[in-house]
Copies of this chain bind each other. A is one copy, B any other.
């Protein structure tokens, strides 16, 4: 049978389809998604939950004239398949391929680029106000999950939207679960709302197709059932109405006809803001994802099979577990990323000392500051890119008061396939300018343990950044030790030049030194370990001798680690310096490996950059002078 999806080149092609055809299309889209995403990796569960909603939205509204803004955007795969990107869908999240998130540069149907949570209502409101000022008449729809709704800026936008009273439609895609199970009183209130039970009957029949997909059944066993089937029967519509929105719902989110009816009602409601509450099942139709939507929130592609080495997140989780056992003043805070950061291991054993505050990075940090005033040592575990959202709280609530809050910054540097919105390539810069904050990065998983232990001992605000993915596989020292704050380490002596690297860049720099060694170039390798304070004594002494300096960091060069090293050395004349890092641009999606190679951040790239910058060093034969200290 010919696939209906093959005929959908733009949303206009949806309009003539019958209800049975639409249902078949939904199945085809799910098949396509599971088939592709199990290879490419991606946000499967969210997108599976929004298939019918995407179809209904594109039938009721006329994109790109009407604007649909997808909050976060990890639920937008069906939208991508329906808006002319079917042929490129197998390039999802691959270098040069289509993005895993909406991207204005990719399609006119992507009204706003997203990636982080809670931005959609603000953006949609801006678009709506622009429409009003222009005298235009299109519709603006923000689609936001219940998790994103816990983020404060969504509330700011709702409040402003209700005040302005302009025509905007906010669709709450409520799967009663954010990335981690939604926390917050509002979520509890939401989950008290329910549908007429008959809506639930539609649920059972769906998704038989995808069970037969490759890999479809392999992850069944050992899964925890997190979703509760029963919902209450209360509708606190006053909540939305006190914010100035007309409330429609709740609506069953996997019934296309019902969705179209509700969305049409919203579209025809003039002139004010409308809130449409849609109940969906995350992972819908793909049983493994439906059963364990946390695991399937973001999955890795087949080709990125684990190498058996624990990830930094796992090492972090295990180390925290040990430290929690020893010290009952430790508490940990996650902003909806308890699983991803590795904290779930600690939460299982110490549920009262681990807090998942929802997608609320601002609150997470200031909440930690409050805990710290009472003698607790809070570890705030947030990905680098998301910590940007709490920048002022780090400054204003932690560092001005010099409180001992520890920031465990996962996914620092190049994160790979999630692309521009998720790269953690700015943290060394935006944190280096904050007084009182100590900023460190471990070169391997063993050092991560020592740095965490050091942070707990230091009594000051301290941030530790480490990369996404596998650690190095080095043996982890059992006994954690306190490292001297602001002291680096010479890993290799040499005479020709000094390479000072930090964090994940140290291993690449070491490998580069091997390559350079074969070319007769004899490097000093310094693991700076601390981006702030810098080990000025060590750096000044070493660089004064070699005169040639190379810094390596997986961070933008502007205001980053290398820039701080240069500033430190500014009073010494005669230094020639090369800084290796990310140039002044946003890093696209693609594998970490390819991206690192593209930025000369792998060993070969570093060696090549050095040989080009210091051509006088290239000799014909390997140097024998070199001395490895580790």
Binding site for B on A (CB under 8 A): 69, 104, 111-113, 115-116, 118-119, 122-131, 133-134, 150-163, 183-189, 236, 238-239, 242-245, 331, 352-353, 355, 357-358, 360, 362-363, 366-376, 378, 386, 388-389, 391-393, 395-397, 399-401, 420-421, 426, 429-430, 432-436, 532, 556-560, 562-564, 566-567, 570-571, 573-579, 584-586
Contacts and interface: CB of A to CB of B under 8 A. Distances in A.
Nearest to A122: B366
A127 B433 contact: no
A385 to B, nearest CB: 8
A160 B360 contact: yes
A352 B166 CA distance: 12
B434 A122 contact: no
A244 B236 CA distance: 13
A186 B353 CA distance: 33
Nearest to A547: B573
A499 B433 CA distance: 23
Nearest to A372: B126
B126 A366 contact: yes
Given A429-B432, A570-B577, A570-B578, 15 more contacts: A69-B370, A112-B401, A115-B396, A123-B367, A126-B373, A128-B370, A129-B370, A152-B362, A159-B185, A160-B358, A189-B243, A429-B559, A559-B560, A570-B575, A571-B577
Contacts of A116: 392, 396
Contact of A122 (B130, B155, B367): B367
A229 B123 CA distance: 35
B153 A362 contact: yes
Contacts of A434: 426
B564 A559 contact: yes
Given A126-B368, A373-B111, A584-B435, A391 B430 contact: yes
Contacts of A577: 570-571
Contact of A392 (B368, B391, B395, B578): B391
> Which 4 A-B residue pairings sit nearest by Cβ, starting from the closest?
A126-B370, A152-B152, A162-B185, A559-B559
A174 to B, nearest CB: 15
Contact of A159 (B358, B389, B435): B358
Contacts of A563: 559, 563-564, 566-567
A40 B323 CA distance: 49
Contact of A352 (B133, B184, B331): B133
Contact of A421 (B123, B400, B421, B575): B400
A83 to B, nearest CB: 17
A574 B576 contact: no
A237 to B, nearest CB: 10
A93 to B, nearest CB: 16
Contacts of A156: 150-152, 155, 357-358, 360, 362-363
Given A111-B373, A112-B370, A395 B401 contact: no
Contact of A244 (B185, B353, B433): B185
A231 B532 CA distance: 54
Give the one of A133, A372, A392 with max B CB within 10 A. A392
Instruction: Name, among A434, A571, A576, A579, the residue most crowded by chain B CB atoms within 10 Å (CB to CB).
Output: A434
B134 A163 contact: no
A373 B104 contact: yes
Nearest to A273: B185
Contacts of A352: 133
A380 to B, nearest CB: 11
Most interface-central of A161, A373, A429 (chain B CB within 10 A): A373
Contacts of A129: 331, 355, 367, 370-371
A29 to B, nearest CB: 27
B189 A160 contact: no
A243 B189 CA distance: 8
Nearest to A138: B374
Contacts of A570: 566, 575-579
Contacts of A393: 119, 122, 153
A197 B300 CA distance: 63
A363 B122 CA distance: 6
Contacts of A567: 557-558, 562-563, 566, 579
